[in-house]
Amino acid sequence: VFAPTDLRAFAVLGFSLPQSVRDVRVFNNFTSASANDNQVADPSWPGARGAVLAIWKGCAEWCSELHDGTGAGDPHQPGGVGASGSNFEIAWQGLATSVGGLGDRVHSEISGSNPGVYAFTEGPLGGPWNNGWRIRYYQAWTWNDGPDATLPANHVDLQGVACHEHGHALGLGHSNVSTATMWAFVIGNGVDERSIEADDRAGVQQVYGVFDPLLKPHLDTLTLSGGVVTLTGSNFAASANEIWFTQAGPAATGTPVKFTGLASNGSVLTAPLPSGVGPGDVLVKKGGLTGPKGLSNALAFDPWSCAAVSTYCTAGQSSNGCIPVLSAQGSPNVAASSGFTLQATNVEGNRSALFFYGNSGRAASPWAPGSTSSLCVQAPFQRTLAQSTGGNAASCDGACSLDWRAWLAANPTALGNPLTAGTVFQAQLWYRDPAAPKSTNLSGGIEFTACP
């Protein structure tokens, strides 16, 4: 329980950031080895490691709700990162190409020192800071990217200091509460500053309003399938909604990649994935709402990750009652030359078979009159080499496999080369079945997406 005097101890700087300047970027010029030694990927913070990850988490602590729905990623904060109870959001935009100007919303290191000062926030000359800001960290300190809460002696926690400085960037001054993140003095190594306290929450709520669950858009889930992004949530407008994505930087500006003009039934938004999108966050700007309540919470999104392999289209039944089952192992990585294997089991034994694939979409057309099989891959197709299913004739113990990535690497003129991340492929098994219509049968379809 906090005393009323504590809840009134925050200070405001007299401005708030409009929607157009919510972007945050990092120019990672930190020289301390400990500022970039955390190279463990975290799916809640895609694409970020080291100093970049620490600063992202420090800034996201001020956002309205738990980041990515859970706030996971910081062992020092069992309650999660985020959930200020205000209407404030950041639009994470990854890496910058330089330290930027005074209003370019970039975090970076600066050479030299200032006794007793770890970092500072500055804004455009002549102000006010609602036109932007820039945060600099003095090189003289030994910065540590965490995420562990126990740091070596003389190390300074980058995430905690970033959280404090971003409080200034969004419009808060120093607090009179010694336990607050916005207290003017860092306690210990700065780890405790990672977590905003009651006085900090009261301050950001004063500047951006108390969280409004009835008006502010909210995101629940995000899926990417076939190049289409689907968001579910609540409080979307009937029209003019926007989806904001993190750009695939490094970038010279912090402008999010946007898909605009979207209609909604209030709870679902769909849009094709725009070009130039990288790993980071997704937010929704509610149509017609320009104030602090117009931006949703953020969900983590990595368009470069390997999407889950999916099966579709009903497999035909062979003349001996066999229904092939398709599956895949490994990941279809662009950078790999092997390691993604298509498999078919429960196939007619002792038959000739081959996999074929395409990248023009799914199909579901009859294979032949009277056949139980369907053609599940849109033309044009690429056939792979024929192989035997093995097993015994008139039995369902046949099987086939193909290291598709190795086959593609060995056949540079094949469909799909050069392989590009994000390309969606559909594949199917063809096999001989003399007693069936057209003397052949087909499996169902399997779909996979090439990833970096």
Considering the domain architecture, whether residues 393 and 347 belong to the same structural domain is answered as yes
Q: Which residue has the higher pLDDT, 8 or 25?
A: 25
Residue 81 inside a domain? The answer is: yes
Q: What is the DSSP letter of 316?
A: P
pLDDT of residue 153 exceeding 70, the answer is yes
Say if residue 2's pLDDT is above 50.
no
CA dist., res. 181 & res. 435, Å (int): 76
- Residue 25 maps to a domain: yes
Are both 241 and 186 inside the same structural domain? no
Q: pLDDT tens for residues 259-305?
A: 999 999 999 999 999 999 999 999 999 999 999 999 999 999 998 77
The answer to whether 161 touches 134, Cβ cutoff 8 Å, is: no
Rounded distance, CA 29 to CA 161, Å?
Answer: 16
Grouping H, G, I as helix, E, B as strand and the rest as coil, residue 327 is strand
Please choose, from the candidates 333, 85, 316, the residue with its C-alpha nearest in 3D space to the C-alpha of residue 213.
85
More reliable by pLDDT, 305 or 446 = 446
**Strands 134-138 vs 119-122: parallel, antiparallel or unpaired:** antiparallel
> How would residue 180 be classed by pLDDT, with cut points 50, 70 and 90?
very high
**Which of 208, 231, 259 is where one domain is finished?**
208
Q: How far apart are CA 291 and CA 209, in angstroms?
A: 10
Residue whose pair of structure tokens reads 């192992």 in the numeric block: 329
Same domain, 200 and 222: no
Whether residue 211 has pLDDT greater than 60: yes
Burial 274-296, CB ≥16 within 10 A → b, else e: eeebbbbbbbbbbbebeebbbbb
Average pLDDT of the chain is 94
Q: Looking at the structure, do residues 136 and 285 belong to the same domain, yes or no?
A: no
Q: Do 114 and 179 belong together in one domain? A: yes
Reported as type and span, the H/E element at residue 220 is strand 218-225
Residue from 448, 31, 141, 86 nearest 291 by CA: 86
Pairing of strands 23-26, 91-95: parallel
Q: What's the rounded mean pLDDT across residues 6-19?
A: 85
Structural domain includes residue 21: yes
- Does 172 lie in the same domain as 28? yes
The set of residues, in sequence order, having a beta carbon less than 8 Å from that of 420 and lying 6+ positions away, is: 334, 450
Evaluate if residue 429 carries a pLDDT over 90.
Answer: yes
In this structure, the dihedral spanned by the alpha carbons of residues 383, 388, 393 and 398, taken in order and rounded to 10 degrees, is: -80
**Mean of pLDDT values over 378-388:** 98
For the chain, percent of residues with pLDDT exceeding 70 = 98
The tokens for 42 are 């975290």
Q: What residues form DSSP beta bridges with 189?
A: none
> Do residues 166 and 232 share a domain?
no
User: 264 and 344 share a domain?
Assistant: no
Q: Which of 276, 301, 326 is the last residue of a domain?
A: 301
Residue 92's pLDDT is 99
In a domain, 213, yes or no: no
Confidence at 4, pLDDT banded by 50, 70, 90: very low
In this predicted structure, the answer to whether residue 124 has a pLDDT above a threshold of 90 is no
Longest CA–CA span in the chain (Å) reads 87
pLDDT, tens digit, for every residue of 187-206? Answer: 889 999 999 999 999 999 99
User: Does one domain contain both 343 and 254?
Assistant: no
Which whole number is the average pLDDT over 427-440?
Answer: 98
pLDDT in tens, 309-337: 899 999 999 999 999 999 998 888 887 88
In this structure, is residue 36 part of a structural domain?
Answer: yes
33, with CB counted inside 10 A (0-12, 13-18, 19+), is exposed
Give residue 316's domain range: 310-449
One domain, residues 291 and 317? no
Residue 254 maps to which CATH number? Answer: 2.60.40
**Residue 104 within any structural domain of the chain:** yes
- pLDDT above 70: residue 6: no
Q: Are 263 and 318 within one domain?
A: no
CA–CA separation, 111 and 399 (whole Å): 63
CA 59/CA 62 separation, integer angstroms: 6
Instruction: Mark whether 169 and 97 lie in a shared domain.
Output: yes
Q: How many domains does the chain have?
A: 3
pLDDT of residue 7: 47
Contact residues for 90 (Cβ-Cβ < 8 A; gap 6+): 22, 23, 24, 59, 60, 62, 63, 166, 298
Residue 318: the pLDDT is 97
List pLDDT tens digits, range 126-147: 677 788 999 999 999 999 999 9
Average pLDDT over residues 92-99: 96
Q: Is residue 437 a part of any domain in this protein? A: yes
Q: Are the C-beta atoms of 169 and 58 separated by less than 8 Å? A: no
pTM for the whole structure: 0.74
Which residue among 180, 208, 236 closes a domain?
A: 208
Report whether pLDDT(402) > 80. Answer: yes
